[in-house]
Amino acid sequence: MSGRECSVIVPTYNRPRYLARTLRYFSTYGRNYPIIIADSGDDTSQSANKETIASCSSLDITYRTYPDSPEPFGGFESKIANALDHCHTKYCVISGDDDFVAPAAISACADFLEHHCDFSVAHGDYMHYWEGPKPRRSLNWKPVYEGRSLTYSEPGVRLRYHLSHYPTDTTYYAVHRATLLRHILEEVLKSGLRLTVFRELYTTGITVIHGKTKYLNIFFCAKDLSSERVQRVPDVRRLSATPAYLSEQKMFTQVLARYLHEYAGLSPEKSMTTVDNALSEYLSRALHSNPSQLEKSVASAKEILYVKRAGWVYDYVKRAYRKIFPRDIYSTTRGQLWIMLKGRLDWINYEDYRNIADFVA
């Protein structure tokens, strides 16, 4: 499928250096993709971004500015929804200004959606990366989400399974059908939800109600872990102690159950039960998850070694361990050693991933 069938939406806020390297990356490897930049930064940042865009004449860029907002998350959905008004392709993908989305993966995901109308989104391997020690130019990495497809035929079953495993897998940064993503964001904006955690759950909930999700065994995206704006999983434990939490949770349950009823045709009672059960499983994991005994022991050993100024021992053992047992997305939970032996040991050496090193400086 031609790259012209998928647009790349790049939200940015006061980070001209990050945007510049992302555009250089697409100028080199992804020039066929229309790019829509949604900039809500201050005047100085916007001025620098305009200069960068002017220097990227080979790219098809639509540049939109918005009033300075409390980014990174305040007003995010409205900004993306507005950017989608300038999207004239069938598919789209959101790429943060600190992301590197592989152009080949964009095409592969859009092509999959083109031939599978019962899927809402498609994506692949997603990681955080950071630079290794100088002078050697190397990129360290760790997985962000587990690779999995969600292929249950019933919308209610998909919703319960997805929310009960959230956020080990997510849908927001996958390749979307543009019309569906626009619809989802409109629903989120009119829902009245204010807490980030429930806006996220509502966004991903509507996505899986509408269709299945596909994980492709390809490198999809890398995000800079050293970025000061890497989004963390919402701290539900902290939020649950705030006065607004209970009323927000009740509102979320009502609006998502109503949506499930209207779209999937489940009875109001069945829809409410499904959402209640899905949310309960999510909250059970989010509020009561504790590190394993092994993780506690490793953390304790690390602390002792650093206190005794022998942290280099921990670092050496960790590097040696990771060379033997890379942090493969599958092996973290499924123990599928055979996948590693059949080529996953060196998946991080994908050509698309190695290309990123040239733009990280």
pLDDT in tens, 267-291: 999 999 999 999 988 888 777 655 5
**Which of 73-77, 153-157, 311-315: highest mean pLDDT?**
153-157
pTM > 0.85: no
Residue 127: per-residue pLDDT: 81
Rg of the chain over all Cα atoms, to the nearest angstrom:
21
Alpha helices in the chain (DSSP H): 16-29, 43-55, 76-84, 103-115, 155-165, 178-191, 196-210, 236-239, 243-264, 268-288, 293-307, 311-324, 337-341, 351-354
Residue 311 pLDDT more than 80? Answer: no
Judge whether 159 and 147 are in contact, CB under 8 Å.
no
- State which CATH number among 3.40.190.10, 3.90.550.10, 3.10.110.10, 2.60.120.260 fits the domain covering 3-233: 3.90.550.10
> DSSP class of residue 122?
E
What's the rounded Cα separation, in Å, for the pair 248 and 194? 8
Amino acid at 129: Y
Task: CATH 3.90.550.10 in the chain: give the residue spans.
Answer: 3-233
What phi and psi, each to the nearest 5 degrees, are found at residue 148?
Answer: -155, 150
> DSSP class of residue 172?
T
pLDDT per position as a tens digit, 80-102: 999 999 999 999 999 999 999 99
